[in-house]
Structure 1
Amino acid sequence: MNLGEGSVTRAELMGIIQGLQCAWELGVRKAVLQTDSKAAVELISSASSLHPHYQLVLQVRRLRERQWETEIEHVFREGNVAADFLASTGHSLPLGVHLISIPSPLLNFWLLYDLEGNQSPRLISSG
Structure 2
Amino acid sequence: MGFRQVQVQTDSLSSIHLIGSAGERHPHSAWISEIRRLQSLDWQVEIIHVYREGNVVADYLASLGHGRPPGDHFVDAPSPLLNYWLYFDCIGVLTPRLVNIN
TM-score by length of 2: 0.77
Structure 2, gaps ≥5 residues long: none
Identity among equivalent pairs (%): 48
Asked whether 1:62 is paired with 2:37, we answer: yes
Structure 2 counterpart SS, 1:103: coil
Structure 2 counterpart SS, 1:73: strand
Structure 2 counterpart SS, 1:119: coil
- Structure 1 contact 35–73 (Cα < 8 Å) conserved: yes
| Alpha-carbon displacement from aligned partner over 1:46-76 (angstroms, at most 9, x marks no partner) | 2222322222111101111000011111111
Partner Cα separation in structure 2 for residue 52 and residue 32 of structure 1 = 25
Greater per-residue helix proportion:
1
User: Any runs of at least 4 consecutive aligned residues in structure 1 with deviations exceeding 4 A, and if so which?
Assistant: none
Pairwise CA distance, 1:103: 3.4
Which residue number in structure 2 is paired with residue 29 of structure 1? 4
Structure 1, gaps ≥5 residues long: 1-25
TM-score by length of 1: 0.64
